[in-house]
Amino acid sequence: MLMNRAETALINSPPRRWLQRLYEVPVLLSFGGRLPPGSRALEIGCGSGYGSQLMLQRFGAAQVDAIDLDPAMIARAQARLAPYRDRVHLATGSATDLRAALNADDGSYDAVFDFGIIHHISDWRGAVAEAARVLSLVGGSTSKKSLHTLSTAPPTGGCSTTPPRTGLPPRTSSTR
């Protein structure tokens, strides 16, 4: 679902970037650590692209694909990520259909990141299922996948850092 003007202004503001850099990144790193060298990562709902920048700089992703439903956000992300253009691919599309957005095959990413977006998607189960589909298995395990998700409100409302039940392994916030 697209954001209203107030939400968009907040998301594009410096305090949002501070929160991402100073709180969300350390929390996600404490869950799953940095990515292995050469990792290919996906960000769903990338907004202005700051999360993708952090995935390259702080998580050590080698390549990042990022999508957002809002073409205006993708334009912002393109400007922000221009210095990384050889390592980043941006597309407009929905997290609920990654084949349409990115032609993403099963198991094509080492990690999927969601910075504060899952509660914006009415079909959040579909988005989580898509993230699970495109994730590769970690270290040959049949059960470990790396889904980095941090939302401050679950789809049902309220305020929590606990992700919705997904059918993925219990450490859904980051399993590695």
Which spans of this chain sit near ligand SAM (rule: CB under 6 A)? Answer: 1-3, 11, 16, 20, 44-47, 51, 67-70, 73, 94-96, 115-117, 120-121
Looking at beta carbons, which residue is closest to ligand SAM? 47
Q: CB of 86: closest distance to ligand SAM in angstroms?
A: 22
The set of residues, in sequence order, having a beta carbon less than 8 Å from that of 106 and lying 6+ positions away, is: 133, 134
* For ligand SAM, the closer CB: 51 or 163: 51
- Residues with Cβ < 8 Å from 66, sequence gap 6 or more? 42, 43, 44, 46, 49, 51, 52, 77, 81, 88, 89, 90, 91
* Other Cβ atoms within 10 Å of 84 Cβ, number: 15
User: Which H helix or E strand runs over 32?
Assistant: helix 25-32
Helix ranges (DSSP H) in 33-121: 50-57, 71-80, 98-102
Would you say 35 or 98 has its CB closer to ligand SAM? 98
* Residue 82: count of CB within 10 angstroms of its CB: 10
Shorter beta-carbon distance to ligand SAM: residue 133 or 144: 133
Q: C-beta of 152: minimal distance to ligand SAM in Å?
A: 9
CB of 144 to ligand SAM, least distance (A): 24
Q: Which CB atom, from 80 or from 120, has the smaller least distance to ligand SAM?
A: 120
